[in-house]
Structures are given as C-alpha cells and as structure tokens.
Amino acid sequence: MANRLSKIYTRTGDRGETGLADGSRVAKDSPRIEAIGTIDELNSCIGVLLAEAMPHELRACLSNVQNDLFDLGGELSVPGHDILSPSHVARLETALDALNAALPPLKDFILPGGSRAAALAHVARTVCRRAERRVITLAHTQGESVPALACPYLNRLSDLLFVASRVLNRWGNEKDGGDVLWQPGKNRK
C-alpha cells in the first residue's frame, strides 16, 4: 500500500467539519460521523480485548472482526459503497454457534465481569450496541442511507461478544471460573 498519510494534521477539521472518503464534507457531530466514530471506538475496544490471553479460535475470530469493522467504517464513509456481504454475517453466526455449543445453558441473567478479559468483552459488547443504535439513527435521518448489512452484522457481533465473555470466564479457570450471576434484590433491606 502506498504511503497515503505523509502528514497527520491537515487543519481542515478545525472548524468542526470532516471529509468523507467520497470528498464531501460533513459536520463532525453529524449522524454519519457519530456512527463511524462509534464503530472506530468498538474496533479499539476489541483491540484492547485482543491484548488479553484467549483461546486461539476466539482470537482469530476477533481479528477478522477488526478488519470487518474497518470495512464497515469505509462503507459508511462512502455512502452507497457496499463491502460487507451475507457471508460476513454468516461467519459470525457460525462462530457464535461453535462458541456457544461448548457453554452450559444460560438459566439466569449475568452481570458484566468475572475475568478481566470477560469484562473487556462486555465493554466491547455495550459499545457495539451503541454503534448499532448510531447506525439506526443514521438510517432514520432524512436523505441518509446505510449499508444493508450494517445492522445485522452489528447485532450478531454484540451477541458474539456476549458469548465471548462467557467463554473467557471459563477459559483457563475451570475450577471457579464462570458467569457472575445477577441476584435480584440482593441489596434490598
């Protein structure tokens, strides 16, 4: 790849606007930039999660997700340019099925936490849900369009991150690892 960023600062955003990949300029707080920025934040959260120890299969899956999220950001930066395909969503569903098959059935609500890696997966899950909300807000904005698979992909990804948290709470900690269960009314007097 050619060196496209020879100068990091351009000063073109100093007045509250930024450029999309198609050359158009939009406000930095526009629904499109909010969606792109939240997807970037999600990608960063997954990067922090990937700094933790985890099973190889989960690491490979999340590494692929990081590339997909960059593609999704690119789609949003060039309205009408689709990169994600149904196979991207199907890949998440296959990973979800495989990871979930090894877990005990979930009978209670769980709290975010447990191991550090599991807690980071929960943080990524909540940011993913926010990214999905930002994409939906963009879709409801008059004159705006979103890639057809953006919401299905983010919806499956948040499910995958939930299951990943459960996997991480058990991985390498079989004797006392596991979900942190919600105890309704625990602190009621």
Residue 10 or residue 24, greater confidence: 24
Q: Give me the percent of the chain exceeding a pLDDT of 70.
A: 89
CATH architecture under which domain 27-172 falls? Up-down Bundle (1.20)
At 105-118, the pLDDT tens digits run 988 899 999 999 99
Tens digit of pLDDT for each residue in 82-99?
A: 899 999 999 999 999 999
Q: What is the average pLDDT across 115-137?
A: 97
Residue spans of the domains in the chain: they are 27-172
Query: How confident is the model over 145-170, as pLDDT tens digits?
Result: 899 999 999 999 999 999 999 999 99
Q: How far is CA 103 from the centre of its chain?
A: 22
Neighbour-count burial for 139-164, b at 16+ CB within 10 Å, e otherwise: eeeeeeebbebbbbbbebbbbbbbbb
pLDDT of 5: 57
* Lowest mean pLDDT across 12-21, 28-37, 65-74, 114-123: 12-21
Single pTM value for the model: 0.89
Residue found by looking up tokens 């006392």 in the block: 176
What's the longest Cα–Cα distance across the chain?
65
d(CA 89, CA 9): 36
